[in-house]
Structure 1
Amino acid sequence: MPPTSYTMVAFIKRKEGMSLEDFYTYWEDVHGPLVKPWAEKHGLTYKQVHTGSNAPTGVDSEFLSKYDGCAIFEFSDPNAITVAFADPEFKRDVSPDQEVFMQEQVTIMTTGSTVTIV
């Protein structure tokens, strides 16, 4: 059966010297509103997973515990994410803002087809 949706997950780490609280506040209150119109324009669902102090403990892998959160994009058109990242709006508004609060060079991203079981 062909996939009906796709998911991209990006594990991100806050900028050195930034507190976890400041990171989450900036990511949600400043960066989130920049991402929203761009994501909506391309039919993307955007979620932030804040994995810090309020997250349940003992469930992260040791490697991934070095990251402060992950961004999740969901989309139904397999070309949507490529088109979205090529959009001048992303390059002008979203991408430069990432440098303010996160370490892009250590971001881990993966994309795949989504299979929902339950």
Structure 2
Amino acid sequence: MATSSRPYKLTTLVRRRSDITEQEFHKYWSEKHPIVVNDWLARHGVVKYVQYHTPLELREQCKFGQGSSQIAEFDGYVELTVPNIEVLKRAFDDPFYKLHVAPDEAVFIDAQGTRRTFGYEEVYIKDGEVKK
């Protein structure tokens, strides 16, 4: 059972719009999107916002080990670390989301191809050390 001391993560698996290139997607996501979302997320209590860029070239390099033939075909994913789900609910209920964030996401993200997960984090190795 999750305790209040564990960080919670909203992970959003992202696909780019089919009418833009990988390069355009990653450039926009890195350079333009944070300008829109950073203050909004921080204002609502998001502890950490991380983008993971997974271009096809890197996904192709990951074909080894268990699940090697099942590499997820997403262009990237986002992790939002929060103390509780209420932080996320407040952020997405904020009119700023509908007026600014959602339209910006529509510039580069395929909303129908997006998937989410939500859960808590358990750390077993940190900074190269096994945690007990």
What residue ranges of structure 1 are gaps of 5+ in the alignment? none
CA shift for structure 1 position 73:
0.4
Equivalence for 1:70: 77
Mapped partners of 1:24, 1:58: distance in 2: 19
> Superposed, which structure 2 residues align to 1:42-81 within 5 Å?
42-44=44-46, 45-53=48-56, 55=58, 57-58=61-62, 62=70, 64=72, 66-81=73-88
CA shift for structure 1 position 89:
1.0
> Superposed, which structure 2 residues align to 1:74-93 within 5 Å?
74-93=81-100
CA RMSD of aligned residues (A): 1.9
Q: Find the structure with the greater CA-based Rg.
A: 2
What TM-score do you get using the length of structure 2 for normalisation? 0.80
Equivalence for 2:37: 35
Mapped partners of 1:87, 1:117: distance in 2: 35
Identity %: 26
Mapped partners of 1:61, 1:81: distance in 2: 34
Corresponding pairs, count:
117
Equivalence for 1:102: 109
- The one-character-per-residue Cα deviations of 1:36-94 (angstroms, maximum 9, x if unpaired) are 01111012121110011563622566251x21000110011331111111111111110
Runs of 4 or more consecutive aligned structure 1 residues displaced over 3 Å after TM superposition: 53-56
What TM-score do you get using the length of structure 1 for normalisation? 0.88
Mapped partners of 2:19, 2:85: distance in 1: 37
What residue ranges of structure 2 are gaps of 5+ in the alignment? 126-132
